[in-house]
Amino acid sequence: MEVDITGARILFDTPINLPILGQLRITETMVISWLVMLVVTGLCIWLTRNLKTENISKRQAVAEMLVEMANKFVVGNMGEKFRYFVPFVAALFATSMVSNLIGLVGLRSPTADLSTEMAWAITVFVLITAQKIKTNGLGGYLKDFTTPIPLLTPFNILGEVATPIGMAFRHFGNILSGLVINTLLYAALAVASSALLGLIPGAVGAVLSQIPILDVGIPAILSVYFDWVSGVLQAYIFCMLTVMFIANAAEG
Amino acid sequence: MSVQELVSFAPWNFIAQICNLLIQMYLIKRFLFKPVNAMLEKRQAMADAEIQDAIKAKDEAQAMKAEYEQNMKEARDKANEIMTTAQKTATAQSEEMIKEATQQAAAIKAKAESDIVQERRKAVNEIKDEIGGMAMEIAGKVIEREINEADHTKLIDDFIANVGEVS
């Protein structure tokens, strides 16, 4: 039996072809991202339907709790002056988490595509750099690379670039490893169930061995860690790093 | 169907995901934070109003209590004052009465004394006259002659004065 683990499928090619970017291809990553956005936005609309100031519904309690948590997370870690970052961090967390967990329903996680994490990490990197320039001025920002001695400049640049790359690969690696292990497990269990049911003699065994009966239930156990824990944890870590890096950048 | 490399960097995906993230940020802001924050602010305003009302009510209650206490104090003061005045008046009245009674008693006593003196004097005078008449009669009988009236009277008076001193 052959197991093939590939990147996101390319659904169709458009005729648009730009010099550096190459041909515009609508990929699985994009489409499922849009689905994730729909899910997140739909959830927001559903949660905030019919808000009241007193005698609130359970749904509203959840909405309030989410808002409070986001506020506490951002303001608690970054300070009151960064309150305007709340929607960004919330969007990052929600998108990341739903993207990770959407793998559970059999869709391919957009976070199992490095481009997704790179997009987020670069966005965060731009915010960090903007914050540094805002705090120290452009001169101060550039001068910071030559500290403590000018000789270390290349290493400082490397360290700076390592931030988004590290963030992106950490997240991507975790999700991809989950995907790979799940795929391998499904394949292995299919082989195992085929071998097991093949022991039944005659036509019954031949038919039953085609059904990967062991794939039902067993992968869910591993999925608890690789999809649920890892998915939520990586979203949390990514947001925590974002918040920390930007807050640090503001301190100069 | 063609696929991407497992670990690859696709520029269009990258751009799409940046756009998606920013759009998602707007959507989450518009559909989650805006309504919830608006509602929270409204609730905060309501809570503030409640607290303000409570503070106002408390102030009013305290003012009322202070007024009540003030009134009570005034009433008590007034009662005390009335009591004191009444006591004073009573004392003064009784003193007055006693004084008056004493005075009256003294007056009665003085009058009685003066009456006694007067009665006595009157009695003395009467006796004096009687004794004088008697003496004259006796003397006239004794010497059987008419003595000069003036000498006569003088003699009698001396005699009576002596009698008065003796008595």
Residue A89 CA, chain-centre distance (Å), reads 13
Residues of B within 8 A of A27 (CB-CB) are: 4, 10, 12-13
Which residue is it, tokens 């914050």? A131
Q: For chain B, give the mean pLDDT.
A: 89
Residues of B within 8 A of A66 (CB-CB) are: 32
Query: In sequence order, what are the beta bridge partners of B3?
Result: A9
Structure confidence at residue B146 (pLDDT): 61
Q: Which residue in A52, A70, A119 is closest to B21 by CB distance? A: A119
Asked if residue A27 lies in contact with residue A11, where contact means CB atoms within 8 angstroms, the answer is yes
State pLDDT tens for residues B78-94.
999 999 999 999 999 99
If you measure CA to CA, which chain B residue comes closest to A173?
Answer: B7
Q: Is B39 helix (H, G, I), strand (E, B) or coil?
A: helix
pLDDT class for B8, splitting at 50, 70, 90? confident
CA B2, CA A8: separation in Å to the nearest integer? Answer: 9
Query: Up-side HSE of residue A28: CA atoms within 13 Å toward CB?
Result: 23
- This prediction has a pTM of 0.72
For the segment A230-247, the average pLDDT, to the nearest whole number, is 94
Length of chain B: 167
State pLDDT tens for residues A96-151.
999 999 988 888 899 999 999 999 999 999 999 999 999 999 999 999 888 888 89
Residues of B within 8 A of A92 (CB-CB) are: 21
- Which ipTM did the prediction report? 0.88
User: Quick one: which of B40, B54, B46 has its CA closest to A56?
Assistant: B40
CB contact under 8 A, B20 and A34: yes
Mutation for testing the A interface, residue in B1, B2, B3, B4 having most A CBs under 10 Å: B4
Asked if residue B27 lies in contact with residue A131, where contact means CB atoms within 8 angstroms, the answer is no
User: Quick one: which of A68, A74, A35 has its CA closest to A242?
Assistant: A74
Peptide linkage before A15 cis (omega within 30 of 0):
no
Query: In sequence order, what are the beta bridge partners of A12?
Result: A26
Which residue is it, tokens 């795929």? A183
- Chain A window 91-110: which residues touch B at a Cβ cutoff of 8 Å? 91-92, 94-95, 110
Question: E strands of chain B, at which residues?
Answer: none
State pLDDT tens for residues A165-192.
999 999 999 999 888 888 888 888 888 8
pLDDT class for B62, splitting at 50, 70, 90? very high
State pLDDT tens for residues A58-105.
999 999 999 999 999 999 999 999 999 999 999 999 999 999 999 888
The DSSP bridge pattern shows strands A10-18 and A22-27 to be: antiparallel
Residues of B within 8 A of A176 (CB-CB) are: 6-7
**Residue B14 identity (one-letter amino acid):** F
For the segment A209-237, the average pLDDT, to the nearest whole number, is 84
CB contact under 8 A, B46 and A53: yes
